[in-house]
Amino acid sequence: MKILITGGAGYIGSTVAHSFIDKKHKVTIIDNLINGSISNIPKKCNFIKCDIGDVKRLRKLGFSKYDIVIHFAALIDNQESLAKRDLYLDNNYTKSKKFFNFCMERGMKNFIFSSTAAVYGKSNVAVNESSKTKPLSPYGQSKLKFEKFLKKSKKNINYVILRYFNVAGVEAKMRCGFKIQNNKSLFSNLCKSYLGATKFNIYGKNFNTNDGTAVRDFIYISDLSEIHYKFSLAIVKKKLRLVVNCGYGQGYSVMDIIKKLKDISKKNFYYVFKKRRKNDIEYSVANTDQLNKLQNIQFNNDKLKIIIKTSLLWYKKFSKNIEKN
């Protein structure tokens, strides 16, 4: 198949791109490299440095027809979006809409969209695809707005909206991974603290959870990549128009993760409690019945060990000169 991937220089997009190339598919990546890294991009793909909103330039490039478009390109910092609402709505909704319409002009009819669990907002139970959506941040709002746009598209357009919960870890071959510098994700900061670069900040200890820290459903990056591959095969064969949660249905608190790291490493490290951040959700766990039913995907729920080990290996590989505070 011929696959067009936006945001393919990013953490998730590049992992999916490598997976498709490993399976002998032809991949083209579009990325403006504002957040992505050129080193993540597979050597065997066709790379176009371009913003997805620059439709005029895309038209000049004379795009051919692709079997599937997988759309990752987005701004993704939940906290940052609180201060940059208009930027997030413009990038994640307006530009995405322009790009979608451009693809439809070119006769592309199969679209896989990278969405987020942030569309759900607060919940104290595992959420399914029919659960109420009430995003608390412009990031979540921008993703939900584009979801609604997709759902209103023409009936001959096929789409799968994948709502990611917390994606973590690094693919086994270590060809691509998360950004080291200026990365605010939990596992990046955990690695940094573990290697002695800084103390680990835990934001909030008064959540309504078993140990007072926030609970998340973490999914291993390579499992998420496999989900993309299976739905890509399915969307070509069938007319799919659906939303699917991507998680394991298993929640871990921040303290659970710290304990797991200590068990793996037999080493202590320092952490400090900080004030809860605005709009931080205390509990975010997926109901995965639909994922398991549609694709018969049964993952080993306890991938936390693999996530932690691969994250540490990646961080060690690219952060040799981190100075201790």
Residues with catalytic annotation? 139
Sign of CA dihedral 19, 126, 191, 113: positive
Quote the longest CA-to-CA distance of the chain. Answer: 57
Residues 6+ apart with CB under 8 A from 254: 186, 202, 213, 214
How many CB atoms lie under 10 A from the CB of residue 139?
27
Residues 6+ apart with CB under 8 A from 74: 7, 91, 92, 96, 114, 142, 143
Residue with tokens 């592309």: 108
Q: What's phi and psi for 90, nearest 5 deg?
A: -65, -50
Residue with tokens 């709002």: 141
